[in-house]
A = this chain, B = another copy of it.
Amino acid sequence: MIKIAIDAMGGDYGPEPIIEGVVQALEEKTFLPILVGDKEEILSLLPQYYIDKVEIVESSDVIEMSDQATNALKRKDSSIYKAVELVRNKEADAVLSAGHSGATMTLATLRIGRLPHISKPALATLMPSLGNNKTLVLDVGAVTDCTPQNLYEFGAMGEAYVEKILNVKNPRVGLLSNGSEESKGNALTKEAFKLLKDLKGFVGNVEGKDIFNGNVDVVVCDGFTGNILLKTSEGVVTTVFALMKQYIRKSLPAKIGALMMRKKVFANMKRQVDKDEYGGAPLLGVNGCAIVSHGASNAKAIKNAVFQAILYTQSDVNSQIEELLGGQK
């Protein structure tokens, strides 16, 4: 049975949505959750029926969002440290945390270790795109200053992930740039372009809009740019709907119109851009599976993050990554 180590204490809202999400996941799939955290608190939140469906590993420390990620290695009694150690010691197949993402990434990278040929793991996130496709964007925050080699590896990992987890045949991999012509790019991407040409699915430079129009399956960028891109996109969506609400409030016909659109338009759109549908971003390149969930994750997000961890563990994405990089470089 697949075993998932879950940091029960991480996240903005404490253990409640985490435990609830795990319970929801258990209702749908078979796996063994290993909940790491304050045993008493976990038990108080866990419905009686599920107590023998989980394992609990006691930990007395929690790395807070305001803490420095660099101290994570020293805090050996923290819930995230102990959860990661379970994967390191092969007592769990995957680790999942909605806590301090920097700490999770540092610990997963250093304690679980990297796959062969991977210099730096990357955080990969799915973005909604037209026509019910998704686009995988990486890196979105693990590696702030990248080398061309990093970007090349991100491309290979993205290709493997999309092929093995999303079942996309012949995935198209684009390099995010300031124009689609080969001549475009900054010093970093121009060098990365040359390396990425070795990749079967590489389609060249792409622009920001290509994330959303279904032109590519994978978009490669450095973690600084990816993080800005992610937050800018969220900001635009928030602003568009805030603006819409402002105008709707000022007009009665518009209010009625909005009500008529609520179910078939707005609810569907919300579902399509809903981050909770994925629940977390895989840290690709670690020798195992680590899923980084948003601090504000609700139970649904945690449930979907658990599903992602299960799917990842069942797939052979890591061996595909090894093969892609081992064969070509």
Contact = CB atoms under 8 A, between A and B. Distances in A.
Interface of A: 128-130, 141, 144-145, 176-179, 185-187, 189, 207-213, 221-225, 227-240, 242-244, 247-248, 250-251, 253-254, 256-261, 264-265, 268-269, 272
A236 B238 contact: no
Given A178-B144, A209-B231, A240 B240 contact: yes
A48 to B, nearest CB: 42
Given A211-B235, A212-B238, A228-B225, A260 B268 contact: no
Number of copies: 2
A243 B272 contact: yes
Nearest to A265: B247
B227 A229 contact: no
Most chain B CB within 10 A, of A228, A251, A268, is at A228
B236 A248 contact: no
Q: Is the interface of A mostly helix, strand, loop or mixed?
A: helix
A289 to B, nearest CB: 24
A300 to B, nearest CB: 21
A264 B253 contact: yes
A225 B213 CA distance: 20
B213 A235 contact: yes
Contact of A178 (B224, B236, B265): B224
Contacts of A178: 141, 144, 223-224, 227-228
Contact of A254 (B128, B235, B261): B261
Nearest to A69: B183
- Most B Cβ at <10 Å: residue of A236, A237, A250: A236
A265 B248 contact: yes
Nearest to A227: B178
A250 B269 contact: no
A260 B253 contact: yes
B258 A254 contact: no
A186 B261 contact: no
Nearest to A264: B251
B210 A235 contact: yes
B269 A244 contact: yes
Contacts of A128: 239
A320 to B, nearest CB: 29
17 contacts: A145-B186, A145-B187, A176-B228, A208-B230, A208-B233, A209-B231, A210-B235, A213-B239, A225-B225, A228-B228, A232-B232, A243-B272, A247-B268, A248-B264, A253-B261, A254-B260, A257-B260
A210 B238 CA distance: 11
